[in-house]
Amino acid sequence: SYELTQPPSVSVSPGQTARITCSGDALPKQYAYWYQQKPGQAPILVMYKDRERPSGIPERFSGSSSGTKVTLTISGVQAEDEADYHCHSADSTGTYIVFGGGTKLTVL
């Protein structure tokens, strides 16, 4: 079965830059999507098609891709950005949808 790999945790101080990675063999062919989830809440979409930001998401959120890895970057991290971040994509056929294991972002 296809898998996406994320680091379990990332920690940064306020104002610094956080980079959360997601790796998968099919990422050169399939777009990745990112969701932010705060405790007790449903996930919300923060990035689509690797690097497109939905309306209402702050400009400090950006996305990039390189080969089998995509990266969600949060510049000038704020305390409110502390959350779990999940990447989502599909296998090479596009029919098997998968999520990464999630990354807990801690703002020190």
Partner 1 sequence: QVQLQESGPGLVKPSETLSLTCAVSGSSIIGDYYWGWIRQPPGKGLEWIASTYHSGYTFYNPSLKSRVTTSVDTSKNHFSLKVNSVTAADTAVYYCTRRGDDQRAWFDPWGQGTLVTVSS
List residues binding partner 1 (CB under 8 A).
1, 31, 33, 35, 41-45, 48-49, 54, 86, 88, 90, 94-102
Q: Which is nearer to partner 1, 17 or 93 (CB)?
A: 93
Tokens representing 59 are: 């400009």
- In the complex, least distance from residue 38 CB atom to partner 1, rounded to whole angstroms: 12
Task: Determine how β-strand 18-23 pairs with β-strand 44-47.
Answer: unpaired
- Say if residue 87 is exposed, middle or buried (CB neighbours under 10 Å; 0-12, 13-18, 19+): buried
Q: How far is the CB of 22 from partner 1 (least distance, A)?
A: 12
